């Protein structure tokens, strides 16, 4: 009897905590999970390799895929409230997703509305930003304002609101991989900056050679 009571108690605890565990899976957005490889994302979104672009000077370390779910086929695509989903990869691994919601689908929503809707899936927000009315003191360069965040030791999910359109979006990323990617990108930028003067000289020479070639060609064909 004692064993049965213990088993029932464990079952009740599991039933109570399972929704919470699912709600706090910050690595997942719908059917997409951070850590997935590029090939799997291409297959799931029905995209092709040419749709993937290198985000920094042709480097295969940093790749990006932009997907518009509403452009798909079927009822689910036509009723989709996500306007755009940008997948960012580092060494072929998905480490960041940027979701932009369709403005018509969120029209009239307040920040509190969106926090409640996101919390229904991911649990209570870790932090909520104080909403400040836009005014003359707000920096013009601030394109997106933080609304709320959900995070654990590995992942971070952030709700943002556009300062220009008032539309909402999510940024979901792996803290570990994002840190590695940022460090690698800083190194790539450093190398590019060091090579920039020589590249500029080579570009100018190439342009000058092209002009000289055109000049010589025109000299031969010109008739006064």
Domain boundaries, the chain: 19-182
Helix 111-122 crosses helix 2-23 at what angle (to 10 degrees)? 140
93 φ, ψ (degrees, to nearest 5)? -110, 130
At 223 the pLDDT is 83
At 129 the pLDDT is 87
The edge-to-edge listing of strands for the beta sheet with 127-128 is 53-54, 62-67, 82-90, 93-101, 168-174, 155-162, 144-151, 127-128
Cβ count within 10 A of residue 180? 15
At 3 the pLDDT is 54
At 10 the pLDDT is 47
With a cut of 50, list the residues of the chain below it in pLDDT.
Answer: 7-23, 74-78, 132-142
Is pTM beyond 0.95? Reply is no
At 13 the pLDDT is 42
| pLDDT tens-place string over residues 52-103 | 998 776 667 899 999 999 776 543 444 579 999 999 999 999 999 999 999 9
What is the C-alpha to C-alpha distance for residues 224 and 6, in angstroms, rounded to an integer?
104
């Amino acid at each position: 009897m004692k064993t049965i009571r213990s088993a029932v108690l464990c079952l009740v605890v599991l039933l109570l905590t399972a929704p919470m565990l699912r709600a706090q899976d910050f690595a997942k957005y719908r059917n997409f999970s951070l850590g997935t490889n590029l090939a799997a994302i291409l297959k799931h979104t029905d995209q092709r390799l040419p749709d993937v672009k290198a985000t920094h000077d042709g480097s295969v370390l940093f790749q990006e895929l932009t997907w518009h779910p509403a452009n798909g086929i079927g009822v689910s695509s036509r009723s989709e409230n996500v306007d755009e989903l940008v997948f960012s990869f580092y060494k072929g691994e998905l480490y960041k997703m940027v979701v932009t919601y369709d403005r018509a689908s969120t029209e009239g929503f307040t920040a509190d509305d969106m926090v409640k809707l996101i919390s229904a899936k991911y649990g209570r927000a870790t932090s909520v930003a104080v909403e400040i009315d836009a005014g003359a003191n707000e920096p013009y360069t601030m394109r997106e304002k933080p609304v709320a965040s959900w995070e654990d030791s590995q992942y971070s999910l952030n709700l943002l609101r556009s300062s220009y359109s008032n539309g909402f979006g999510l940024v979901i990323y792996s803290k570990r991989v994002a840190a590695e990617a940022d460090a690698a990108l800083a190194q790539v930028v450093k190398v590019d900056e060091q090579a920039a003067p020589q590249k500029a000289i080579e570009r100018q020479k190439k342009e000058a050679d092209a002009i000289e070639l055109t000049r010589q060609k025109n000299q031969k064909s010109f008739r006064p």
